[in-house]
Structure 1
Amino acid sequence: MHEIITLQLGQQSNYLATHFWNTQESYFTFGEGADESPVNHDVHFRPGLGADGTETFMPRTVIYDLKGGFGSMRKINALYEDQEAETPAALWNGKTVVQKQQPIDVSEYQASLDTGAATPELTTQSVRYWSDFSRVYYHPRSIVQLNEYELGSTLMPFEKWGMGEELFASLDKDHDLLDRDLRPFVEEADQMQGVQIMAGIDDAWGGFAAKYVERMRDEYGKTPIWLWGLQEPNTGIPREKRLLRLTNKARSFAALSSQVSLLIPLSIPSRSLASSVVLDKASAWNATALFNAAMESTSLYTRLKPGSDQANSATMSGVTDMLNVFGRQTIANLQMSPMEPPPATPAAEGNGMQILSGRGELISSLNEMSYEDQSDSGRGVGQDHVEPLDVDLSSLDENLGFGASRGGRTKAHLFSQLETARGDDAIKAASREEDYDKNQEQHGSHTNRTSLIPCWTATPRIFRGKDGAQRRDPLSMRTVLSTDSSVMTRLRGLRTTVVRSIGLEDREDIGNELAEVAEAYKEGWSSGSDDDDDDA
């Protein structure tokens, strides 16, 4: 079944993963006459039995977060209520004192889901934790709270890269985390396609992820591992903390780039966003919704049914091989452009079909609205540069004052790219562009086209139409995941900025590792004046 197992490391990653699972839940269709979903749900969801024998279908994921990070979510949910362990008999005959922390109130949105009432519109103020807008149930085995650190602590914040390394080493020594947390999901898989990890790379979770991946490589040496590396906005924070984040980021790239199959950094650009995107950058709920729109779109082909008319399905391994041209280019850049879909066609409007989601909500057909990407910009046989889209999420050099500008981004040498167009009319356009696609594939490019992104009440209204109004209909989206030479310039700049702030014992090793990673993006082409600029 080509299952994919997900690891969620930390608060920000769990915000992103919650959007991701909400989107996956939206692909479940019920109702007579419903179109069959193009998504193979078995890739990301596992079947099981609840406490009362009811069949369940829950994400194949392991969720790590700090104490207090789960909000009102309980480890034992309604489907497994009866399996909660009984309180063991006390071994102490003396007087006992029980201290209980005040529980976090369930959000109004979650309460409405539990009761089947109409869900309220969420806002940045009403979303306190990622669990406040989660629409799926998780298996109790998926929930792992790390009590060694507390979310939002000012006395011992979980923000230094080394803290994550030490925490993983301590936990793994006591429990063997892979055996306890990951292996049960791996053994359930018939034919595991790979592992996707969502983790912060500019805080202590980067160190935790690096150690986790290192252990995974010992156990699953050839398994594709994709890591979506999240970065928090640096706007408005003190210079020392910003430098700390950049140092953490440098350590993450140095440690992870040689271990993972693909590392896709995600950050909100500090420059003004396109007019089609309006969001509160300080809100994790808003920022990760933007990340999810791009991430979910560009990885959709890994969970499509084989032979689907929607698009060509592919595997994590196949895409990795396509993007990693010379074997050492594991860092990929992600860009996106929200697009305005046309009105529904008369045939779609008159088909009279009603489709219900897994929550029993009425939705539009996945195929009802679509768009056709007819842009000729940047096309042509032998394309060797990166075509810029509206939003570049992969910036490694944000707030540093160096590196490729928006204009310079278009001049980056392109090694390979994967373009995804959301919208069913684009599939028809593919047949008219067959000759073009064949030529593009010869130069390491491939285009997938599939259905639109559904919108839900749990998704912030961050996208705007041409008239500036909030978009509430299914979204059209164009994304490009590419390996290109801009990584070299940006990593060299990052190295120059942070190498002197790294301790003497690690400075040379990390500096050399970053330089080596950057060098891989010069292989196969001549960058001219960049050849000898590494004098940091």
Structure 2
Amino acid sequence: MREIVTLQVGGFANFVGSHFWNFQNELLELAEDPEADPVFKNQALNMDVFYRYGETHQGIPTYTPRLLSVDLKGSLGSMSSSGTLYNGGSSVPSSVMTWDGNVTTQASEPRRRNLFLQSLYQEELENSLTVENGVNDGENGSRREVSDRDIVEQLENNVQYWTDYSKAHYHPQSLYELSGLWIDAHKFDNYGIGRDSFSGGLHGEEMSDRLRFFVEECDHIQGFQFIVDDSGGFSPIAVDFLESIADEYTNVPVLLYAVRGPGSVIDSISQKHRVSRKLHAAVSFSRLSSLCNLIVPVGLPSLSRSKASKLLCIKDEKPYHCSAMYAATLHSVSMPFRMEPPAPNADSTYASGSLTVNEVVQILSGQARQNMVAILDAAMPAPSLTGNQVEQTFLGNFQPLTPEVSEHVEDLQSVESMTVLGALGTGGQRASIYEVKGMVHAAYQHAIKGPMFSHLSVAQCPLPIPLPFPSIFGNHVGQHGELLGTPIIGSSSRGSLDVHSIPMAARLRSSSAVLPFLENRLGDLRKFGIARASPGAELLRSWGFAKDESEDMGETLSKMIAELNPRSQMSSDSD
């Protein structure tokens, strides 16, 4: 057994993670549903890679994500920090009295569950009640009359917290709130604020204890899947966490996704704020990349206007929307980690191309270069394997979800790990593993510019679309993700009530196409923080970085650039 422990740090990271775990939950439910498509029952996947067995104090078996989520106090909405399976309680005994004066209690009303969470609660309540206990009270009984369409409509208009659309049950050790940080989430927006808030407290020790809980019960951990919202104050928290991971789990690889919502990259009118944002981006990336085996920047300035969403109807202002596409792609590239290795001399009928986290790291960073940054590409939905020039169409549908990437770069040393899920073939039927492999091979045979090496993982199981998934599909997307020649009349956007599953293609790519991203961060660090009389030098000092530390961060970025393109030399005194 080769387990993965997932960490989600920060607001947008948890929005992405909530969708990610909804996909896993949907796969588990479909595998047990006798009426579901057989493709979901023969997945050749080992879900224990991401999940753990346990039981409640009452002896009820549980199956929960091997997850540690970190966010600000109050970010869980209507969900308790102890989750939903275990009975939480006060950690302070009621008999302890330290004050004999008058006491005034101020209590706020708990946040009400939305229609989706009410329906989950009602369903679980009915499953747990015996026939003798009868039906619950009238309020709960009325919840069953709420239609799925009402639930979807409310989610589209009223999601505020990542827990508002979460189907998953969480272990009490999974949900950690950073208490004692009396700061508005919108102002928790730069490296210095996060570093000041986190220093001197017990948060680091408490988080490490919770992580240790999940790691110590693993038989043979294959790696950490780390998702961090690096757009603000959570970045230094993640850095401190990564430093403790490096000390305690020396040989365990870390695959880190640095995610950002579109709202985090909007330029401010204030010059001071623009300098702060650019320095934060440079410092955050430099520090995070130095503490993981592979870092993948994720988050376009405008997802709705990108080629990646040409078949989708995404609203940039909604984290609920944007995080859904990023989570679908992370789900896809993580599929090889839980694929069952094929038996000797056995045909791979349902899945092929299993990998471990360490093998992906070696593929992308262990070839001719030692770079540690990868590009994330997606085709959502992936095109079917029919029609003229399907090979070129298939490759042409890949679009980067990593920002500031060059589109037209000839990199003869590029390497990649590609995953294709639930591809459709002739007549809308699931394509076989053999057909997908043949098509991808033919695509690269005809491609003008192909990678030096490409690893392919294929699964017949498509991406399932759970009920709380947002209505982001365009009217050219059919029920099973097939691309329609004529649009469906009616609403321009379609959701889980109309689209039940989709084929996905995603890849992690090591290429010099990421050079603009790296060069922009190095240039900003030098121009605004290191150069003589730079406007942000004092700001870096206020964040706790001496001049030599700032120069070391610049050197880290310079080495990454040199590994990707030795001819690219940025002068150390550039301004």
Of 497-506 and 126-135, deviating more is: 497-506
1:481 is matched with which residue: 508, 523, 532?
A: 508
Q: CA RMSD in A?
A: 3.2
Instruction: Say which SS state the counterpart of residue 240 (structure 2) adopts.
Output: helix
Range that drifts further, 34-43 or 204-213 = 34-43
Percent of residue pairs identical? 23
Aligned-partner Cα distance in 2 for 1:372–1:453:
23
Select which of 297, 300, 323 maps to 2:364. Answer: 323
Other-structure match for 1:164: 194
CA distance in 2, matches of 1:480, 1:103: 42
Is the 1:302–1:314 contact (alpha carbons within 8 Å) kept by the matching residues of 2? Answer: yes
1:50 aligns with 2:56: yes
Aligned to 1:332: 374
Q: Report the CA distance shift for 1:177/1:37 in structure 2 as closer, same or farther (over 3 A).
A: same
Q: Given residue 203 of structure 1, which amino acid in structure 2 is its aligned partner?
A: G
Q: Which moved more, 1:228-237 or 1:203-212?
A: 228-237
Q: Distance in 1 between matches of 2:412 and 2:274?
A: 30
Equivalent AA in structure 1 for residue 120 of structure 2: L
State how far apart, in whole Å, the 1-side matches of 2:12 and 2:170 are.
Answer: 18
Aligned mates of 1:88, 1:204 — CA distance in 2 = 36
Equivalent residues in 2 for 1:361-400, closer than 5 Å: 375-377=390-392, 389-395=397-403, 397=404
**Are 1:202 and 1:249, in contact at CA under 8 Å, matched by a contact in 2?**
yes
- Per-residue CA deviation, residues 400-432 of structure 1 (Å, 9 max, x unaligned), is xxxx554x4x44554211111122515122454
Report the alpha carbon displacement of residue 462 of structure 1 after superposing the two structures with TM. 1.6
Residues 82 and 481 from structure 1, CA distance in 2 versus in 1: closer, same or farther, beyond 3 angstroms? closer
Distance 1:310 1:338 in 2: 20
Map 1:202-221 onto structure 2 (within 5 A).
202-221=231-250
Indicate yes or no: 2:517 matched with 1:510: no
- Partner residue of 2:104? 97
Scaled by the length of structure 2, what TM-score is found?
A: 0.77
Change in Cα spacing, 1:100 to 1:94, as seen in structure 2 (3 Å) is same
Q: Which SS does the other structure have where 1:253 is aligned?
A: helix
The answer to whether the Cα contact below 8 Å between 1:168 and 1:212 also exists between their aligned partners in 2 is no
1:102-125: CA deviations, max 9, x gaps? 321211210111112454114442
Select which of 106, 111, 121 maps to 1:114.
Answer: 121
TM-score by length of 1: 0.82
Instruction: Measure the CA separation in 2 of the matches of 1:164 and 1:105.
Output: 30
Deviation, 1:41, is: 1.4
Report the more deviating stretch, 121-130 or 437-446.
437-446
Q: Which residue of 1 aligns with 2:462?
A: 452
Distance 1:125 1:113, change over 3 A: same
**1:279, 1:287 within 8 Å by CA — same for their partners in 2?**
yes
- Aligned ranges for residues 49-448 of structure 1 at < 5 Å? 49-81=55-87, 87-91=93-97, 92-116=99-123, 117=144, 118-119=147-148, 120-122=151-153, 123-150=155-182, 152-153=184-185, 157-172=187-202, 176-233=205-262, 234-235=265-266, 237-239=268-270, 240-270=272-302, 272-274=305-307, 275-307=310-342, 309-324=350-365, 325-326=367-368, 328-339=370-381, 375-377=390-392, 389-395=397-403, 397=404, 405-406=406-407, 408=408, 410-412=409-411, 414-423=413-422, 424-425=430-431, 427-430=433-436, 432=438, 443-448=452-457
Name the aligned partner's letter for residue 417 of structure 1. E
Return the offset for 1:204. 1.0
How far is 1:85 from its partner? 5.7
Question: Aligned-pair distance for 1:62?
Answer: 0.9
**Can you give the 5+ residue segments of structure 2 that lack an aligned partner in the other structure?**
124-143, 343-347, 423-429, 477-483, 530-535
Q: Which is worse superposed, 89-98 or 128-137? A: 89-98
In the alignment, the residues of structure 2 paired with residue 372 and residue 112 of structure 1 have an alpha-carbon distance, to the nearest angstrom, of: 43
Matched residue type, 2:466: W
Contact persistence 2:377–2:399 (CA under 8 A): yes
Is the partner of 1:457 in helix, strand or coil? coil
Q: Secondary structure of the residue that 2:86 maps to in structure 1?
A: helix
Q: Which moved more, 1:312-321 or 1:93-102?
A: 93-102
CA gap 1:436/1:415 in 2 versus in 1, 3 angstroms:
same
1:66 is displaced (CA, Å) by: 0.7
Which structure 1 residue ranges, 5 or more long, are not aligned? Answer: 343-369, 380-386, 398-403
Shift of 1:207: 1.1
> Residue 196 and residue 242 in structure 1: after superposition, are their counterparts in 2 closer, same or farther (change >3 A)?
farther
Alpha-carbon distance in structure 2 between the residues aligned to 1:50 and 1:373: 56
Kept after mapping to 1: 8 A contact 2:53/2:64: yes
CA distance in 2, matches of 1:70, 1:437: 45
Q: Which amino acid aligns with 2:381?
A: M
Counterpart CA distance in 1 for 2:556 and 2:73 is: 38
**Kept in 2: contact 1:200–1:231 (CA 8 A):** yes
What secondary structure, in the 3-state scheme, does the structure 2 residue paired with 1:335 have?
strand
Change (3 A) 1:432 1:125: closer
Distance 1:442 1:492 in 2: 22
**How much has 1:175 moved relative to structure 2?**
6.2
Between the aligned partners of 1:373 and 1:249, the Cα distance in structure 2 is 43
Mark the CA change 1:463 to 1:273 in structure 2 (over 3 Å): closer, same or farther.
farther
1:294-347 superposed Cα distances (whole Å, 9 cap, x missing partner): 1111111112222263122110000100000356311111111123666xxxxx
- Count of residue pairs brought into register by the alignment: 488
Equivalent in the alignment of 2:139:
none
1:5-44 alignment, distance < 5 Å: 5-28=5-28, 29-32=31-34, 35-44=41-50
CA contact (8 A) 1:51 1:82 kept: no
Any idea what SS the aligned residue of 2:152 has?
coil
Deviates more, 1:428-437 or 1:181-190: 428-437
